Amino acid sequence: MKNILGKLALSLGLVATLTVPAQAEDASATTDMQTNSSAATDDSSASSGNKAEDLAKETQNPVANLISVPFQNNFNFNVGPDHVTQYILNVQPVIPFHLGDNWNLITRTIMPIISQPSAGPGIPSAAGLGDINPTFFFSPAGGSKKFIWGLGPTFTLPTATEPLLGNQEWCAGPAAVALTMQGPWVVGALVNQQWSFAGWGNHNVSAFLTQPFVNYNLPHGWYLSSGPIITANWEVSGRDAWTVPVGGGAGKLQFIGKLPVNFSLQAFANVVRPTDGPTWQLRFQIQFLFPK
């Protein structure tokens, strides 16, 4: 049970533009000023709306040339014999670097902060930092939006402050992402596989993760989204190896002053799950964006 919950914590450790109307200074030109003000407001709203839509699409691209700091809140319901709720806050900054004119290096680091109540008799509770997971994607710069890709290594560092919150193993493996951005659609998938190579844990790690994502963008920064995180533990046989969520949600990119902030909410039912794994999950994300 402890091993299952520890792996679950790791695997799940892988969202109004203000306009100020002009005021007429000359009473004799009130009508003209109102007309011009209305046109200017309409143009400003349209421009802000387009900018929000463009930025929303960029947030849906895992290898976008965009600095962002997401705070992803994950609630996993009905864990263990006592059907408790596990909470994981993933702080996952994304920072791109230019490698000359033709390549970008996108760093994505997931830092999970976990609250795990006692899931059943004899199972301790735990709270603290989980295993940190940095990934480095090398991606072509300035390519076509019809096909975007990135490749690189991913690692898991045994930083968990409690044994229940991690695997106590150093892990590494390949990671890849591919997507297309056409019209209102952003569709793709992220995949990685890791193996343990050192550590002091009681078991080896061979863990697979894939996140297919489908986004349909609407006017004014709204969008519909589905991004389930599917995991497999190859050290376990049968149905207990897989967690397969099905679901989705919606989001909106909103300007708070001049700062773009992306909000998203998704819910998933775990149609395949390990014994005593969560039956469903809720994901609420707030993502701060720092466009160049």
> Mean pLDDT by 10-residue block, N- to C-terminus, for the chain (292 residues)?
39 31 36 44 54 90 94 97 97 96 96 96 95 97 88 98 95 98 96 97 94 97 97 92 97 96 98 96 97 82
Do 75 and 85 touch, CB atoms closer than 8 A? yes
Query: How far apart are the C-alpha atoms of 136 and 55, rounded to whole Å?
Result: 22
Q: Where are the alpha helices (DSSP H) in 125-235?
A: none
**Would you state the pLDDT for residue 10?**
36
Query: How far apart are the C-alpha atoms of 131 and 10, rounded to whole Å?
Result: 7
* Domain assignments of the chain as residue spans, ordered by start: 2-290
| In CATH, 2-290 is 2.40.160.40 | yes
Query: How far apart are the C-alpha atoms of 267 and 250, rounded to whole Å?
Result: 10
Buried b (16+ CB within 10 A) or exposed e, 214-232: bbebeebbbbebbbbbbbb
Residue in this structure with the two tokens 């046109």, named with its chain if needed: 39
What the block records as the tokens of 2 is 């402890």
**Would you state the pLDDT for residue 50?**
78
For the chain, the distance separating the N- and C-terminal CA atoms, rounded to the nearest angstrom, is 46
**Would you state the pLDDT for residue 243?**
97
